[in-house]
Chain A
Amino acid sequence: MGADASDLSLVRRVQRGDKGAFDALVLKYQHKLVKLVMRYVRNPAEAEDIAQEAFIKAYRALPQFRGDSAFYTWLYRIAINTAKNAVVSRDRSPIEYNIDRNNEESYDMQSRLKDSETPEALVLTEEIRSIVNAAIEALPEDLRTAIVLRELEGLSYEEIAAAMDCPVGTVRSRIFRAREAIDRRLREVFEGGLGRTEELG
């Protein structure tokens, strides 16, 4: 088990021209990157745009990536620089909305333009969270502990094995079974919900 072996195997495939492997990397890190960028910008839609730009920059720079650092560390740096540049350029040329502040209806429209966290997107996100939380609550204690230690605390399998006093193989199995249980409930939402949100978003 090599640290970053998973990412590196996908990166090598992208470097050989496999775009599907890059999709997998984006799917894995998109939420982390948006969260990271949101330290610099408050607007979720703007954060998504910056994260998207960072991923495109990373894709174009991947031929130069030699694996000296972990892929996510490298991606993290690109995202930070992209976010900083975006903030600087936005401050230099702030977007002006030619809306009369005295006109209440127009002013409300401006607020809504800035806050692109649409109700539909919020509802879906909340729906997903509640499903995941409910699924976690329903898990047997050992599975719940394993998945929470992994996802919330970021512990490695070895560290979880030490904490739970069980073999690493058992940890791997517990985490997998926990994910499968949550995924079974999440799949229904994804099949119907995400397409609808795409159209709205």
Chain B
Amino acid sequence: MKEELDSQLSAMFDDELASAECELLARRLSRDGELRARWERYAVIAAAIRAERGVRLNARVARRVSVIVGAEPALAATAAPGRVSRRWVRPVAGAAVAASVAAVSVLWLRTHQVPGPVAAAPELAAVLATRVTAPTVVPAAARSPAGPDSYVVPPAARSGAAIVPAELANYVVAHSMFSPPVARRNLLSSFMTSEPAAAGPIAVSTDGAQGSPRDAKGSAQ
């Protein structure tokens, strides 16, 4: 039994022992002083055979390291809090980075907010106000029986750039030169995408009511 143990120790010293046996023997090696002394002599034999010049074959380094390590806290005691903190630090740090990026994005969007065509061109807004801000009277069929007779629908022209009249295009383009590049690009693309709708003039009824069939349908709903 003793010989088998020593044989295993010799194989373990050469890294030729199975992992499971290494685990068991490592435990014994760390506790059994006699076994460790044998292990030490195996190391001395190896160094002596290799005839390492200048290397003193005593265990001075090992003894001094053992004394210093003995005075230090055991690794398990020091490593445990580190593991816990590491486990929490990563997600928290990730969330912090994500929050920072989100905050910067919001701030950037606020400062560089893309103005709509009306905001980009105040003159246009004024023109539009005179032409399209007249209250829309909902047809009688669409009125609620219990509702008031003079129901006012918000002007449709304010909801988007699609109904900017074509005749104002030159005016808008000329004045949008003073607006930010992003807004200018947005404005021009609005013209392009809304060309068919914008080609015709806004239908304004003689009694002050305006709206396209689409608006009427939307209001009825």
Contacts and interface: CB of A to CB of B under 8 A. Distances in A.
B214 interface: no
A22 B56 contact: no
Given A23-B66, A59-B69, A5 B59 contact: no
A63 B78 contact: yes
Contacts of B58: 121, 124-125, 194, 197-198, 201
B174 interface: no
Contact of B7 (A10, A176, A187): A176
Contacts of B47: 31-32, 35
B46 A17 contact: no
Range of interface residues on A (Cβ < 8 Å): 35 or more
A135 to B, nearest CB: 9
Contacts of B79: 15, 63
| Most chain A Cβ neighbours within 10 Å, of B22, B27, B57, B64 | B57
A5 B15 contact: yes
Chain B's interface: helix, strand, loop or mixed, by majority? Answer: helix
Chain A interface main SS type: helix
B69 to A, nearest CB: 5
Interface string A22-39: 111011111111110010
Interface string B51-62: 111111111111
A148 B18 CA distance: 23
A176 to B, nearest CB: 4
A26 B65 contact: yes
Contact of B59 (A30, A44, A148): A30
B29 A125 contact: no
Contact of B43 (A12, A30, A125, A198): A30
B110 interface: no
A27 B45 contact: no
16 contacts: A16-B76, A17-B77, A21-B26, A24-B30, A27-B39, A28-B39, A34-B61, A44-B55, A125-B55, A129-B48, A133-B48, A136-B49, A172-B10, A173-B7, A179-B10, A201-B60
Given A5-B19, A8-B19, 7 more contacts: A5-B15, A13-B27, A23-B62, A48-B60, A124-B58, A133-B48, A175-B10
